[in-house]
């Protein structure tokens, strides 16, 4: 099992301007900068953002050794199939989404279920910066500095019953502005995803409301999305309106579409190819033309932290 800290090739190095801007933000400008952006997350960020998330991680930002991908790449390359099947068109189309006010329904096998205002949720959980690798099942990868909080904190607060074995997530359905969803194209809508309870409670699993020190852009899943860094990107569901604790393994959108190609677990694994393409390497998007592929790592480089979740499970069968 590979456990070494991932090395980042020169090609992945961020534009200096982006990097400097991010540092500047984190070094004290947090409150003022955040107030200029989207109000819900901004208010929360201003209240709760711990610069560099130093407190939570014992003095270090989780993923601080990774160099983020240029922001212009991350915010212009998103799979948002409700709007379009083209990653470069989602930026424009997603702007029509209505994200205020926003409520999240938490239901199912828990004691304190209900409908919560996003602003109230964000008030209660200190923001942390997490710099994570993001690996798409299509074979490209990025490094993104997210702002968010552990999903476990929220789940613990609603007091899961012992019968809660899985967590189901649902994306907003806004047919007026989501053409592919309105036309019922490709996937079964609304988009839904799921995690096993232990995966959901893992400290690396976060709910993100921002990135690069700012509110999440709409195309990147505003106002609230899941980030599970050791799984393929499609597991990290965007624009969450519902979180449900369930007894049974929930249906997930891509698994429903092509069960033999996209599994429930969808853990990043270079040794388990997609039926039609290899997952052994990834194209790290750097914004430049010459940035050759690098080998993909088991669990996207997070094996040390998450491999124990899967014990002796056959990862080829449970892909």
Partner 1 sequence: MKLMLSARQWWWLALAAFCWPLLILGVDIANANLGPDPVKAVHIRLGDWSLRLLCLTLTVTPLQTLTQWRGMADFRQLFGLLTWFYASLHVWVYLGVDQGWQWPLIAADMAESRYIWFGLLSYLILLLLALTSSVFAMRLLGRNWKRLHRYIYLAAPVAVLHYIWQLKGNLAVPAVYGLIVGGLLLFRVASWLQGRPKLGQFWPRWAGGRLIQPAKPR
Task: Catalog residues that contact partner 1 under the rule CB under 8 A.
Answer: 72-73, 76-77, 85, 87-88, 137-138, 140, 186, 257-258, 273, 275-281, 283, 285, 287-293, 295
> Smallest gap, in angstroms, from Cβ of residue 279 to partner 1?
8
Choice between 93 and 155, CB closer to partner 1? 93
> Smallest gap, in angstroms, from Cβ of residue 284 to partner 1?
10
> Smallest gap, in angstroms, from Cβ of residue 88 to partner 1?
5
Which residue matches tokens 């953002």? 49
> Smallest gap, in angstroms, from Cβ of residue 23 to partner 1?
23
Task: Tell me which DSSP letter residue 250 carries.
Answer: P
Q: Order of strands across the sheet with 192-196?
A: 114-117, 103-108, 240-246, 166-171, 192-196
Choice between 165 and 283, CB closer to partner 1? 283
Choice between 138 and 153, CB closer to partner 1? 138
> Smallest gap, in angstroms, from Cβ of residue 79 to partner 1?
8
d(CA 147, CA 128): 5
Is the C-alpha dihedral spanning 318, 239, 304, 153 positive or negative? negative
Choice between 31 and 258, CB closer to partner 1? 258
Choice between 53 and 285, CB closer to partner 1? 285
d(CA 77, CA 106): 30
Which among 50, 52, 54, 56 is positioned nearest to 203, based on CA atoms? 56
295's CB contacts (< 8 A; 6+ apart) are: 270, 280, 281, 282
């Amino acid at each position: 099992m590979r456990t070494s800290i991932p090395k980042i090739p020169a090609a992945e190095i961020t534009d200096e301007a982006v990097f400097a801007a991010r540092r500047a933000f984190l070094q004290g400008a947090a409150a003022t900068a955040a107030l200029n952006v989207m109000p819900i997350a901004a208010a929360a960020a201003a209240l709760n953002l711990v610069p560099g998330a130093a407190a939570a991680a014992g003095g270090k930002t989780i993923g601080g050794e990774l160099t983020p991908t240029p922001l212009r790449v991350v915010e212009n390359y998103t799979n948002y199939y409700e709007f379009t099947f083209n990653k470069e068109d989602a930026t424009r189309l997603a702007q029509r989404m209505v994200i205020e006010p926003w409520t999240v329904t938490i239901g199912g096998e828990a004691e304190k279920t209900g409908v919560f205002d996003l602003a109230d949720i964000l008030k209660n959980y200190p923001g942390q910066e997490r710099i994570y690798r993001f690996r798409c099942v299509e074979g490209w990868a990025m490094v993104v500095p997210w702002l968010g909080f552990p999903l476990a904190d929220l789940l613990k607060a609603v007091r899961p019953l012992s019968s809660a074995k899985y967590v189901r997530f649902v994306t907003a359905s806004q047919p007026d502005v989501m053409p592919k969803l309105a036309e019922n194209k490709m996937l079964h809508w609304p988009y839904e995803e799921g995690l096993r309870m232990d995966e959901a409670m893992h400290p690396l699993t976060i709910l993100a409301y921002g990135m690069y020190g700012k509110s999440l852009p709409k195309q990147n899943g505003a106002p609230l999305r899941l980030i599970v860094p050791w799984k393929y990107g499609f597991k990290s569901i965007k624009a969450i309106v519902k979180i449900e604790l369930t007894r049974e393994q929930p249906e997930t959108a891509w698994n429903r579409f092509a069960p033999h190609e996209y599994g429930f677990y969808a853990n990043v694994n270079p040794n388990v190819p997609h039926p039609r393409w290899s997952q052994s390497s990834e194209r790290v998007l750097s914004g430049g033309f010459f940035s050759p592929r690098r080998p993909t790592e088991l669990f996207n480089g997070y094996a040390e932290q998450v491999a124990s979740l899967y014990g002796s499970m056959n990862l080829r069968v449970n892909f």
